[in-house]
Structure 1
């Protein structure tokens, strides 16, 4: 009788051990299966930090523990480029890091200049970015620069005066915001060497943050042509320009989903303009809904897994 009870107890222990191990494996596999595809900024900690979210927008992890923003995914999703501020915010520099926040590396070191808006080439070998500063006469100078992904061979694309550079899907051209004057800018496209500049929008307004769709056929951007910043889309040649959002508050930073069927963008919510929310909508502007609270400057990783 005692032997039988001991055997039953032993079997129960073995079963509970197996059940616990199986549960752990399922949890572990579930954790490992998470694929973070959206990078965004948030001031939840009081500083601008970079977070990552999965495609549902409901799960996020913080990727950095230092000030940094405007994250851009490498094509393979393993790294991010971003900017961070130094010298009491007088110097902004481009950095890269692994997508989990490790292996942080500072790539640019130009003092008293603002380097921002990095974007990777489709093959992951190059990074373009915007540089802005005041010259010795107090004039604002917006420039576009390009470098290798490790920070080497940095040089200005001298004919391009503007900001927000973004590679086309074939990596042969750059879409950017061309500065017309202090009050106006236009979405434009040019060769990598700065040749063949073509202006795509022609409005007396500020138009920023162009992003090319994954199939290379369209550009999403923000413009205040109708009074406040709204999200627009057009063909890669500038034709068929269409307004997607209609609200009384500003909407910023559109980014395409990997399949090109949706866009995410940021908007101010509440009385505090720095408290922003990320929204999602179909590419035709339909079915707009809240996606990630307390987030801004979101970018969707264009690869799938």
Structure 2
């Protein structure tokens, strides 16, 4: 089957797949702000949610506690702090910040509020993701030679920096699978689908390319079987889909006129946090996956 015909069939499937209507009234909004709230990240126990917000002008990191129904601003800096992530098995978070003029990864101790470099290497970096152990971190780093973003790993034990992807087009948003053996990432290409999902194994070999789906902002399911993503197709732009990591079982989850970004699935797989555009801003809502 030609790539052109396969593309047409997939576009038709994306439009005809059964989906639930997603309405604001049927969701739980954690908080409303005058700015954009993006990139939610669940804690391991599902009781807290990190996200970034520009409600005060620049990007800062916030934490919402579901048990206490409270919101805490974690960073207070004139620079931009973005892409928060939980440091595994410690009461720490990691984010990227341009406080030094370019983006570097920083860690913050939630007990002491102390902020320090995650590691000391001269590479512009952002979007950290961790396996279950604390030995490695995967991130998007800027390759000065190719002038493109690529996926890297850093080993805290051996102090080793590894350049994992050497592909044409920017590679970003690495997300480590729950078992730590695969890395999901987004890649920009100069042909259809223009932005696609690819999967590496933990040491950098390319295993899967879902190159028939225009997909962005990917997220793993807790069991590592499925991938959630936001569609870039013009007719269904901003809708949420799921697909098995081998490219089968494509399913459309939302069917509405709302633009959605940055989905994140709770550790128990029962809820999804996502940013929804309303009144010219993105607010974070929680939907139940039991209904989808």
With the shorter chain as reference, the TM-score category is 0.7 to 0.9
Instruction: Specify whether residues 267 and 149 from structure 1 end up closer, same or farther in structure 2 by C-alpha distance, changes over 3 A only.
Output: farther
Q: Number of matched residues?
A: 241
**Residue deviations 1:110-156 (CA, integer Å, cap 9, x gap):** 47x4x221111111221111124676xxx751211111358932221
Q: Is the 8 A contact 2:230 2:237 kept in 1?
A: no
Q: Which moved more, 1:100-109 or 1:65-74?
A: 100-109
**Residue deviations 1:37-90 (CA, integer Å, cap 9, x gap):** 2101112322211111123693111112223111011232511111101465xx
How big is the alpha-carbon RMSD for the aligned residues of Structure 1 and Structure 2?
Answer: 2.8
Confirm whether residue 202 of structure 1 aligns to residue 208 of structure 2: no
What residue in structure 1 maps to residue 8 of structure 2? none
What residue in structure 2 maps to residue 59 of structure 1? 70
Please report the TM-score for the alignment, with normalisation by the length of structure 2.
Answer: 0.72
Q: Which runs of 5+ in 1 are unaligned?
A: 1-33, 287-305
Please report the TM-score for the alignment, with normalisation by the length of structure 1.
Answer: 0.69
Q: Which runs of 5+ in 2 are unaligned?
A: 1-44
- In the alignment, the residues of structure 1 paired with residue 48 and residue 134 of structure 2 have an alpha-carbon distance, to the nearest angstrom, of 17
Secondary structure of the residue aligned to 1:197 is strand
Instruction: Specify whether residues 58 and 201 from structure 1 end up closer, same or farther in structure 2 by C-alpha distance, changes over 3 A only.
Output: farther
What residue in structure 1 maps to residue 282 of structure 2? 276
Secondary structure of the residue aligned to 1:176 is strand
- In the alignment, the residues of structure 2 paired with residue 44 and residue 196 of structure 1 have an alpha-carbon distance, to the nearest angstrom, of 39
Q: Is the 8 A contact 1:228 1:248 kept in 2?
A: no
What residue in structure 1 maps to residue 89 of structure 2? 76
What residue in structure 1 maps to residue 14 of structure 2? none
Alignment of 1:23-42 (within 5 A): 37-42=48-53
What residue in structure 2 maps to residue 224 of structure 1? 232
Secondary structure of the residue aligned to 1:44 is coil
Q: Is the 8 A contact 1:157 1:193 kept in 2?
A: yes
- In the alignment, the residues of structure 2 paired with residue 151 and residue 224 of structure 1 have an alpha-carbon distance, to the nearest angstrom, of 39
- In the alignment, the residues of structure 2 paired with residue 182 and residue 140 of structure 1 have an alpha-carbon distance, to the nearest angstrom, of 19
Q: Is the 8 A contact 1:177 1:209 kept in 2?
A: yes
Alpha-carbon distance, 1:254 to partner: 0.8
Alignment of 1:113-124 (within 5 A): 113=124, 115-124=125-134
Alpha-carbon distance, 1:284 to partner: 5.6
Q: Which moved more, 1:277-286 or 1:261-270?
A: 277-286
